[in-house]
Structure 1
Amino acid sequence: MSPDKFATIQALFPFIAIMASLGIGGWVLTTWMRIKNGYPLDGAWGQAIYPKTDQEAAERIRLLSQENAQLRAEMGAVKDRLAVVERIVTDGSHRLDHEIEQLRHKAN
């Protein structure tokens, strides 16, 4: 190898090392962020590593669907109760007193 080629390689080596280090550091940072935020990791050929089976994903979807249905039922009950409270608050006091008196007379 000639001395001028060797000098050129010596001059370029720090830049090549820096670029390789940045590439590896970026890959490590990206992988860490994916793990931290729950994104699936990719294997060597692009296949998903996590979740490992489709059964896990199906089970997770089933559990989330059940929770969603429960929350929707609870929200419906809360809306009904809120409607009753709004009706009581916006009703005139005279009408409310009249309804209470009617209930007292029915109880006797």
Structure 2
Amino acid sequence: MTDEPGLGKTLQVIVLLEALVRAGRVTRALIAAPANLVANWESEFHRWLGSTSSELSVFTVARAAANLAATVKLQELVGTSRPNHMVLICGYEALYTNGS
């Protein structure tokens, strides 16, 4: 999506994911973004869904090389069925590093 900033693209994705989870159509989602936007995505999820009211658990990994613990967490999350409804917001570098 290449629309101008401030038009609600992030909110549209958040609302769509929440609706798909509530409908039972999606249990996990991956959002790949530039590392400098990972924290923004996380804050927008908490802003619009709250930290406890949503059925979604949000996890973030911005830069795999800079954070070994985050890399281990990512590998553990991918291999587990918990939590049932998970959104992983991942920086491109972390995704590329863990995907190979």
TM-score by length of 2: 0.24
Structure with greater strand percent? 2
Flag the structure with higher helix content: 1
Select the structure with the greater relative contact order (CA < 8 A; seq sep ≥ 6): 2
